[in-house]
Structures are given as C-alpha cells and as structure tokens.
Structure 1
Amino acid sequence: MKLAAAIALALGAATAHAQSNVAIYGIVDAAIVGERGGSAGNLTKVTSGAGSASRLGFRGSEDLGGGMSAFFTLEAGTKIDTGEIDAAGTIFNRQAFVGLKTDLGSVALGRQYTPYHTTLVNIVDPFSTGYAGTSKNLFPDSGTNVRTSNTISYASPRVNGVDGELSYSAGEQTNIRAGRQFGGAIGYATGQLSVRLAYNSKNSDVVASGGTPAVDRTLGRNTLLAANYNFGWIKVHAGYGIDKGYNAAPLGNANNPYGGVKPTASTDGRDYLLGFSMPAGMGTVLGSVMHKDDRTSFNQDANSWGIGYLHPLSKRTSLYAAYAHISNKNGAGYTVANNTESGTGNTGYNLGMRHTF
C-alpha cells in the first residue's frame, strides 16, 4: 500500500507539473540462476536482477533560472520473481535524494551511491557489478560501500577532462564521528582513456546508550585505483583496491557457505581486476579475472574468473548469459554473486532477460 501510494503521488506530480520535466524509468530483469559448490548443495532458481537490479524510479529537474536547476530521484527496488519490494520496510531504498545544480557543480541530500561504488561500476568492472562475473565476487561492493543514507554529496563539472565528487554520510549519533562515512573520487577522461581514484572511510563506532557500553572500532578504509581504455575493437578494464580496517571488506555471504573452517572477512587486503568488453556479432562479450590477496594471518586468498555474453534484441531489451568460478584458499568464503544476490557456492551461471524503460 505504501509503494502504491507513493507511485500514485509521483504520477500525480508528473501530471500536474509537467514543466518540471519528471520522468518515470525502470529496469525489469529476471534470470535462471545456477549455484554450485556450496555446502548446502546445488541450487537452480529464478532470480530477479541478476544482471541489473529490477527497479521503478522517478526523476526530474526544474530550471530555476540564472543557470541553476533543482533535481530529484526516487528509486524503488523490486523483485520480479515474486513481485515484492526488494527490502522489507522500505519504499525508495535504492536512491532517494534532492539537490541543486549550478555551473559550479551539484549538491544533493538523501540516500545515494558512494564514489567507491560508482567507480567500480563505471570504470573498473566490465560486468558493471552485475551478472555472475561481477566484481562483487571478490571486491567489497556491498552494504554501505555501495550506498549510504543521510548523505550530502557534491559532484563537480568536468573541466579539461577532470572531475571529482565528495560524499559525507552522518552517523546521527551523539558523537559526531560515530557511524559516519565519507568518501570521494577524482578522475580524468579524454578520448579512449578513463582513469579514476576513489576513497572510502567508514566509522563503525557505537556510542553508549543506557547500560550499553560504547563500542570503539578501527576505521574501515577502501582505496580504489581504476582505469579503462577503449581500443575500438576491445575495451580493457583494470582495478587495484586496498582495504584496511574493521568492516572495510565484509564478506558477501558470511554464513560459512562451504562448511569446515568459518571464513573471516579480511581487514587487510588487496584486490586486483583485469577485464575486457568487446563486440561480437550483434552482441558484446565480457570477461574478467580477479585476485584477492588477504594479508592477515588467515591468508584467505582467492582467485576468480568470469565470462559473459549480452545479446540485444532492441535498444531496450537484451538476453544474457554469464558464468563464473572462484578458487578459495585456506578456508576463504568468497561466493559467485550477481547484481542482487551474494551466492552460495564457488561456481555460478545466469541465463536471463533485461528490459529498460
């Protein structure tokens, strides 16, 4: 009922204020997903959002004059396989923000993506963090590394190929440092080359409350150097990440997916990715190899590779197939994920369809 009321309100706003340039958009994505190698056994299912998370969104802008405009985005995640909202108790859980844009850049407030995540999506990962070959398999692209609430962000205009972004998420506790997260990125793009450096800092402290003592933890920090180059016949992608501190690199599936030695999230690790995307007939072939170098005493390293093919049926509709495999070392617990699920085993495949509107 809440989602229906919100949609009706947004539709009403779009009709009554057409001059505000309001648009309805979305993605409908469903796939047959196979997972192999986990202790729970083999699993085959129908999943929503293996390639790109299914969603329904509203975005718009209004020219305020003098080179200034207002903008907003409200985006709800949906599960195509069941028709449910993808996060219980929420409506616009994916994005919800409002902001102002001028010639000096844009400022937005609300629930937003982190600079770390957008760097992975737009520069590093040929799979754009989706499908079985996703960088989520080894890179820490989950939780608040992806998006944060209570966020103030700034994005600069691009000048001579250079642009930057900053974000600050308030922890909203009595200690201003507790629970806060901030990050940024600076990039350079010209012709066929794109390079970007992103940083993320996460405070997981909790202040004392009543008889509950305070919890102090080390900062979780992520640094990501990203680049890609388009040769025309092939586009090459590369990424190098440094993850240090508490909760810097949470496991996608922390539920001991392989039995035996319980995997431990790395607090000192390095992530490497080399990938490509290239035209093949009417479609596109994607591929990547990754390595996780865990520098803690557990030494839980992992290697991963993935391959995929995207076949367009039109500008809005495409079919896809993807396959990936992970080799875990010393009890590491990395699983083959997709855009919306963390996975249950070290091998996985997707056969799906994606439509945008």
Structure 2
Amino acid sequence: MKKSLIAIAVLAATSSAAFAQSNVTIYGILDAGITAERGGAAGSVSKVTSGAASASRIGFKGTEDLGGGLSAIFKLETGARIDDGTLDNTTSTLFNREAYVGLSSKTAGSLTLGRQYTPYYETLRDVGDPFAMGYAGTAKNLFPVASFMTRNSNAVVYKSPNLEGFTAAVSYSLGEVAGDASATRQVGGSLGYNNGPLNVAVAYNSKNNDTATVKTAGVGHNALIAANYDFKVVKVFGAFSKDKGLNSAPLNGPATAYGYTFTASQDSSDALIGLSAPVSAAGTVMASYIRKNDKEVANRDADQWAIGYNYALSKRTSTYVAYAKIKNKNGAGYTVGNNSEAGSGDKAFNLGLRHSF
C-alpha cells in the first residue's frame, strides 16, 4: 500500500513538472459594428458586420520548453462572425486562419510547418499600412494581398531571431501536384530592420500558376518595400509594390461590383503614403492615400483616400470609426472593403467596437 502511494506521488510530481514546462493560451478578438457601403451596382448596403477593424477569431497557441533554449510551438486559429455566429469562410476548413507546429530557438530562430501568413502580407500589414489591414482604409482594397497572397497552406516557414534590429523570413509552400514539384508552388521572403523610430522592410512573393493539367500559365511576381518612421507626434508610413504576371494582383472584391466584368491586371504597381497620430492619451487618427497604377493598355487605375479614428476604452477594448473612397478609372472595378469583407461599392463607412481576450 505504501509503495503504491509513493508511486502515485512520484508520478503526480513528475506530471506537474512536465506540465509546468508547457504553456497553452486561449485568445481571441470580438469585433462588431455598423458598415454602410455605397456606389455599387446592387445599390446601397447598410449592415451589422463582423471584423471591420480586426477579423473576429478564437485561437489556441502554446509552447513547450525542450531545454537548451529550444521550444516546441503551435498555433490553431479560426475565424468567426460576430453578427451571426457562423465561421467566416464558406469552406469546410476549421482552422482557416492559421494552423502550424514547429520549433523555436532563442539563438537560431523558428521553423514552422502548416497554414501561415506570407512574408509579403506581414510586411505590408506590420510596416507599410497605417490601418494595419483593417477598417475601410485597409491596403487590401488596392494592394495585391487577396487569396493566396495572404496565407499559404502546406508552408514551411523560417524566421530568424532579431540580430541588432535585423530580421528575416523565408516561406516555401509546396504545390503537392503529383509529378510536378513546381506546379502551384509559392515562394516568399522578407528582410527587415527595426531600430528606434525607423522600421523598414522589403518582401518578395512568387506564385507558379501551373496546375496538374496546365503547364504554361507562368509565374506571378511581387516585390514590396515598406517603411514607417515615428516622429512621436506623428508616425509616417510608405509602401510601394511592383506586380507582374498572371495572378500577381488577385482581386480582393467582386469582379462585377459595378455591373460589368473587371479583370485583374497582370502588370501594375501600388503606392501608399499614410500617417497615424495620437490626438489624446487614448485616441489615434489614421489616414492614407493609395494609388493603383495599371500598366496594361486598358490603364485601369484607381485611387483611394481613407481616414479613421480609434479610441481605446481600456487595454483590451476600443471603439472606432473609419471612411474610405475609391476613384476607379477606365473601367477599373475596385471596391472599399475592410479587414474581413471585400465590399460592394466605391465608398464605405465603419462604426464599431473591438474587444480582445
């Protein structure tokens, strides 16, 4: 009997020690508000919407200390719609936002496998866009970050540690087409420097459009440079992207929003200038101008002006308002959306509340 009790005590102590080395966190964002869209062929739309500023989500992430500065890491994240309680995608993908597992070292960086953000998207979101891909003013409306440009499935991603302000990332997404290793393959990378008030980064993405049956579709290429500089009273942002080839600029919105079919450009560039400025201890103003320059014969250019305001009610809860307008030219058909929706017209207004946990 004593031996049994001792064995149970030892087992319990060992289990507790192992558990103490692991850390699992449940987290999420709840974002809901009112969105009014104008200018589309279907007419004006006013609705309760979810995820205008930040996509609503619930996630699980964790680490396990393996010793010697090495840790096992994982993340599972799914999107949800606060307006009706459904998943925010129409597929059967449960963890549609991120799903990966990997290893992380304090000195060597991290290596992860699964569904993950592209370095191109992270660079524009974290460095170049004052709206951080959210609100009506999101850079998603004109920059090529839709579809596979946002996240890759079947991706192997390496991220370096911070070395005197320098960081790097490399992403390789396997196409998994039998007999053709290059078909549907996607490769990306980024290099950044963040020190003091200066934050600057470059990123690259290439997508092979060949499939199991089509072998002449070609490759789409994207090259991006983004930067911001914090003057304390105002932070200034800038970004420039060159997009060349098939699917180098996938549309974020519907192709028929204005009653005609709009085809994405295969030769374009995108430029952004913007700012964010604190106007009180809890309030921040954001503004940006984006120009889409179509270099094809049709010359379907577009310009977007946007302004927004975020007010922090606490560390976890904030309220916001934003407005953006796009001017399409020569038959262009870009729409004003937000972080979670593509939009239906050339103008949109957001008023919402966001809480994180």
What TM-score, normalized by structure 2, do the two folds share? 0.92
The structure having more radius of gyration, on CA atoms, is: 2
Q: Secondary structure at the match of 2:256?
A: coil
Tell me the equivalent position of 1:93.
Answer: 96
Q: Deviations over 1:119-168 (max 9, x none)?
A: 01100001000100000111011101000100000000111211100000
From 149, 155, 170, the equivalent of 1:151 is: 155
Q: Deviations over 1:45-93 (max 9, x none)?
A: 0111010000000001011011111100000110111101112312111
From 127, 138, 141, the equivalent of 2:131 is: 127
1:232-251, aligned counterparts within 5 Å? 232-251=232-251
The residue type paired with residue 143 of structure 1 is: S
Q: Deviations over 1:236-261 (max 9, x none)?
A: 0000000110011011123311124x
Q: Distance in 2 between matches of 1:165 and 1:325?
A: 34
Matching of residue 190 in structure 1 with residue 195 in structure 2: yes
Tell me the equivalent position of 1:267.
Answer: 266
1:269-284, aligned counterparts within 5 Å? 269-281=268-280, 282-284=282-284
Contact kept? 1:30, 1:46, Cα under 8 Å:
yes
Q: CA deviation at 1:19?
A: 3.7
Tell me the equivalent position of 1:84.
Answer: 86
Q: Secondary structure at the match of 2:320?
A: strand
Q: Deviations over 1:11-39 (max 9, x none)?
A: xxxxx945411000000001100100011
Tell me the equivalent position of 2:327.
Answer: 327
Q: Secondary structure at the match of 1:21?
A: strand
> Which contiguous aligned blocks of 4+ residues in structure 1 show a shift greater than 3 angstroms?
16-19
Tell me the equivalent position of 1:206.
Answer: 211
1:1-357, aligned counterparts within 5 Å? 17=19, 19-87=21-89, 88-102=91-105, 103-174=107-178, 175-208=180-213, 214-260=214-260, 262-281=261-280, 282-357=282-357
Q: Distance in 2 between matches of 1:59 and 1:192?
A: 30
Q: Distance in 1 between matches of 2:45 and 2:87?
A: 23
The percentage of counterpart residues that share the same residue type is: 54
Contact kept? 2:205, 2:223, Cα under 8 Å:
yes
Contact kept? 2:288, 2:307, Cα under 8 Å:
yes
Contact kept? 2:21, 2:64, Cα under 8 Å:
yes
The residue type paired with residue 338 of structure 2 is: N
Q: CA deviation at 1:283?
A: 0.5
Q: Distance in 2 between matches of 1:312 and 1:194?
A: 24
Q: Secondary structure at the match of 2:93?
A: coil
How many pairs does the alignment contain? 336
Q: Distance in 2 between matches of 1:338 and 1:96?
A: 23
Structure 1 gap ranges (5+): 1-15, 209-213
Q: Distance in 2 between matches of 1:230 and 1:73?
A: 31
Q: Distance in 2 between matches of 1:237 and 1:18?
A: 42
The residue type paired with residue 339 of structure 2 is: N
Contact kept? 1:251, 1:333, Cα under 8 Å:
no
Contact kept? 1:161, 1:188, Cα under 8 Å:
yes
Structure 2 gap ranges (5+): 1-17
Q: CA deviation at 1:216?
A: 2.4
Q: Secondary structure at the match of 1:117?
A: helix
Contact kept? 1:324, 1:348, Cα under 8 Å:
yes
Q: Deviations over 1:181-213 (max 9, x none)?
A: 0100001111100110000000111113xxxxx
Q: Deviations over 1:331-357 (max 9, x none)?
A: 001100100111010000100000000
The residue type paired with residue 331 of structure 2 is: G
